[in-house]
Each structure stands twice: as structure tokens, then as C-alpha cells.
Amino acid sequence: MPSQAGAEMSSPRNNYNSKAVNRLMCADWSAYSASYDLLSEHNPEYQALLQDFEAFLATIEAPQVIYDIGGGTGNYTEIAARAYPDSEIRFVEPDTNMNRSAQSKLAAYGNINYDNRALEDIDATGSADLVICVHALYAMPAPEQRLADLRRLLRPGGLLYLIDIGRYMNVPDWRSYLFSSLKKELGLVGALRVFWQGREIAKQNKSILKAQKKGVYWTHTEAEFASLVAQNGFEIMRQQSVYRDHSDLLVCRAIS
Ligand SMILES: C[S@@+](CC[C@H](N)C(=O)[O-])C[C@H]1O[C@@H](n2cnc3c(N)ncnc32)[C@H](O)[C@@H]1O
């Protein structure tokens, strides 16, 4: 199946030629941060991913060092911090408001260090036992190089829990899916209230779609994604299409 962004995306670079122009075409993560958890809490597909992550953690040896890259409001770090209170967690999130939301949510945990740099600015090598990167890679400049960065953070044998949106964000389809699941949960008035409170989300999702169509954000098929991950020094242990087939989940081991 070809990549939706066209043949040029089979060699995955996004068009980050002009930082100033591209900033206008990207999601505004700070604006997104205030309502991010509102719909996530009510989105069964988001909750299913969190449950998958928690179940995955129960199957591995306790990691000493964990990175959460593009950690957003800290939902994955929270699960890791609860499951492994003795691990050192490095939370990497360049957006100030997202990072702030995470810090306030995770204030009770003493094992988390907060870093407000982008992945490409982190120069650590080979120290991590586990790297988490969920729904963030597609939004980064030069995702192929960023995959190499994720590999560099891990020790040989370390694990990568990776989920990435690969297909175009179908905004009307997500809206109707979320509205009908909210209506079941909260009734019509409750659903309308959550939609109104979370209206920034629809706006940012439209920006994501626009950036995907311009090639500023990366889109990929499941096969393209797996192939690039394998080329960057990972053995794929599990691969699954998730998030209503918009995203790909890979559990990988860093090979030496
Ligand atoms: C959709 S959010 C996902 C947040 C979280 N992982 C989750 O699934 O709830 C994407 C996050 O990636 C972050 N991000 C964007 N570019 C990044 C980069 N170059 N390095 C690290 N994080 C980045 C954004 O700031 C944003 O918070």
C-alpha cells in the first residue's frame, strides 16, 4: 500500500526546509496541552493504548533507566512511574505547556527528571533500558534520523515501545467516533459539553492533517514504518496496526 503522502515519502523525510514557514503549518502543542487530557480520558482508543502499554510493562524486567520521548502531558510516564517506582525516568518534552502539565500531574513521583529539549538535542548514548515514544515521531523533523536517535539512547538489548500516527488524520471520522462514544458515556448534553470544552483539539487535529498533507509531518504505511525501524538497528518483536488503523505500534529490541 503506498504512503498517502505520495512516492516521495517512501524515503521518509519531511519537508523541514524553512523552520519559520513550517512552524505555521504544525500543531500548536501548547494550545493543545490544556484540553489534551480531556478527550484522551474519554477516547476509548487512547485508553486502549495506555492499557496495552501497562500490560507490556508487566512482561519485562524492571528497567533502570526509562526515557519517555515527546511525553506530552505525561500519561505514559505516569504508568511507568507507578509500575517501576525504583526506575529513573527521563521525561523529554520540548513544549513548555505540555511539560508543565506533566510536571503538575506527576508531582507525587520522585523518580522523574524533566527535560524540555527536543529529541534531536539530547546527546545521551546507550544508557536506556526502555524508550517510550508515542504519537510523537511523525511530528519531528527528519524522522529517520530521529529513529537513529532513539536507537542511540538504548543499550544493546534495550527495548523501544513505539507508536506513531502513519495515516492522514481523518478529522470528521474521529469527530463522529468520539461524539458517539461520549454520547453513550455521558448522554447528549454531556457529550456536547465535552466537545465544547475540547474544541481546541479539533482545531489542532486539523493542523496535524494540514501538516501531513504538506509533508511537514510524516505519514507511512505499516510496512514502510517497520522497514525503517529495522534499518535503524532494531529487531521488531511485535507489530500491530492500532488507533482505528491510523497508527502503528511496534515493540522492538535494540540490536548491537
Ligand atoms: C500528540 S503528543 C503525544 C504525547 C504523548 N506521547 C501521548 O501519547 O499522550 C506529541 C508530542 O510530541 C512532542 N514533540 C514534537 N516534536 C518533538 C521533538 N522533536 N522531540 C521531542 N518531542 C517532540 C510535542 O511537543 C507533543 O507534546
Residue nearest to atom 22 of ligand 1 (CA): 70
What's the CA-to-centroid distance between 189 and ligand 1, angstroms?
Answer: 32
Which residues have C-beta within 8 Å of that of residue 122, sequence separation ≥ 6? 92, 115, 149, 153
Residue 163, classed as helix, strand or coil, is strand
CATH topology of domain 7-254: Rossmann fold (3.40.50)
Q: Report which of 75, 51, 45 is spatially closest to residue 180, judged by C-alpha positions.
A: 45
Q: Report which of 164, 131, 136, 134 is spatially closest to residue 150, judged by C-alpha positions.
A: 131
Q: How far is CA 45 from CA 48, 93, 162, 203, in A?
A: 5, 23, 16, 20
- Is 93 touching ligand 1 by the criterion CB < 6 Å? yes
Instruction: Return averaged pLDDT per consecutive 10 residues of the chain, 256 residues in all.
Output: 35 46 74 88 96 98 98 98 98 97 97 97 93 97 96 97 96 92 94 90 91 95 97 98 97 95
- Is 72 touching ligand 1 by the criterion CB < 6 Å? yes
Residue nearest to atom 4 of ligand 1 (CA): 72
pLDDT at residue 4, rounded to an integer: 40
Residue 111, classed as helix, strand or coil, is coil
Residue 232, classed as helix, strand or coil, is coil
Atom of ligand 1 lying closest to residue 36 CA: 9
What's the CA-to-centroid distance between 121 and ligand 1, angstroms?
Answer: 14
- Is 217 touching ligand 1 by the criterion CB < 6 Å? no
Atom of ligand 1 lying closest to residue 95 CA: 25
pLDDT at residue 22, rounded to an integer: 54
Residue nearest to atom 18 of ligand 1 (CA): 118
pLDDT at residue 256, rounded to an integer: 80
What's the CA-to-centroid distance between 29 and ligand 1, angstroms?
Answer: 8
Place of cell 496535524: 208
Q: What is the pTM of this model?
A: 0.91
